[in-house]
Amino acid sequence: MFREFDRKIILEDGREYYGHSFGDTGDKVCEIVFNTSMVGYQEIVSDPSYTYQAVVMTYPLIGNYGMADDDYETKIPTIGALIVREYNDFPSNFRSTATLAEIMKKYKIPGISGVDTRSITRFIRGFGSCKVLITDASTSIEKGMEILKTTDIPRNAVSCVSCKKVWTSYPGCKEEFHVVAIDCGMKLNIIRSLNRCGCRVTVVPWDSDPDVIENLSPDGVFISNGPGDPTDVPQTINTIRSLIGKYPVFGICLGHQIIALAYGAKTYKLKFGHRGGNHPVINTDTDKIEITSQNHSYAVDMKSLENTGLSITHVNLLDRTVEGLECVKDKVFSVQYHPESSPGPQDSFYLFDRFINMMRERKDNA
């Protein structure tokens, strides 16, 4: 049965889109972005990298397979909001234990359905990411624009989603290596992937000092994905700078950008970012094209890499942005995309094997 519009979104330029509420019904100001993935809305909703962001799903039907207990990327979702064309509140999936709306309401995440997601996506592609207000349909445009004008999106996203104390995840198989993972908003499937490779993973907060990490005697150091601008976490950048050359280091997404900044390179914000499960990336060593899962707003400035000691290993075929870096001498490498993404392409899981081989070589030469 048709429901009267009860919610709307207001963009920074004054555009309004009316729709129906699901999840929480509180007002929210976020950065609006879009994701082109056809599946994986649970992983998107629970990915800490979407903190303070309202995600427009370009795939038209969302919610149809519910939410499964084993598929969360974090225990407490922090996504800003979810915007969809059609929401299904009657999932058909034997693994489902809750509806998407129930989980969003539990964690105070507003959702709006019935809006023209194609129009919004075209706007973002044309004009770039911007602030958006999700509010009641009765909110006047004047009041909405005033809220947008006077509300800043916080820059403390990493500190909000990082763990507060050290904790450890043990492998289900024979333990071969000990990895210290710096949590900048880490997806749980990264830890699962390292565990499957025989790694005990000790997770430390984003602002941990180098001494804390060294006292844990790791075989390797990992820097995770996370939300926001990489220049907002100078503590993490300085920590990595201090650890370079002492341990094999592997970074994903925000971790990739942090490594670049630690070597003296620069980053910049993309017009509308990369978010989806089908971005083609070429490996410059093998000329093999990988189909990758991506979620980021910032990229490494290619020109700034000169004289840093880093070389480019992967390039995005859509816009030629930097997707991978390495310093062979220091045993450091990183990728902008998500090799662990689940569900999603599995073309890039070899990167975990590379990290394992680096730690094995370090042990053999000790």
Q: What's the pTM value of the predicted model, to 2 decimals?
A: 0.97
User: Which residue from 161, 153, 132 is spatially nearest to 27, judged by alpha carbons?
Assistant: 132
| 130 labelled catalytic | no
> Residue 25 has which token pair?
């019904």
Out of 31, 73, 323, 340, the active site residue is 340
- Catalytic residue, from 20, 279, 314, 338: name it: 338
Q: How far apart are CA 149 and CA 305, in angstroms?
A: 36
Q: Which tokens is 44 given?
A: 């998107």
Please give the Cα distance from 257 to 315 (Å, whole number).
14
Mapping DSSP to helix (H, G, I), strand (E, B) and coil, where does residue 341 land? coil
Q: At what angle do helices 234-243 and 254-262 cross, to 10 degrees?
A: 70
* Domains of the chain: residue spans and CATH: 7-153 (3.50.30.20), 158-364 (3.40.50.880)
Task: Determine the straight-line distance between the first and last CA of the chain, rounded to whole angstroms.
Answer: 69
- pLDDT digit string (tens) for 216-263? 999 999 999 999 999 999 999 999 999 999 999 999 999 999 999 999
The single residue listed with the structure tokens 């104390």 is: 165
Question: Six-digit token pair at 248?
Answer: 């094999």
pLDDT at 360 over 90: yes
For the question of residue 340 being annotated catalytic, the response is yes
Spatial neighbors of 248 by CB under 8 A, at least 6 apart, are 219, 220, 221, 331, 332, 355, 358, 359, 362
Residue 167 CA to residue 201 CA, distance in Å, equals 8
Alpha carbons 265 and 10: distance in angstroms, whole number: 37
Count how many residues are written for the chain.
Answer: 366
pLDDT band at 1 (very low <50, low <70, confident <90, very high): very low
Encode pLDDT of 148-194 as tens digits.
999 999 999 999 999 999 999 999 889 999 999 999 999 999 999 99
CA atoms of 160 and 155, how far apart (whole Å): 10
253 is known as an active-site residue: yes
CA geometry: angle 325, 329, 332, nearest 5 deg: 40
Q: Which of 253, 256, 279, 314 is catalytic?
A: 253
Tens of pLDDT, residues 72-103: 999 999 999 999 999 999 999 999 999 999 99
Residue with the two structure tokens 């450091």: 332
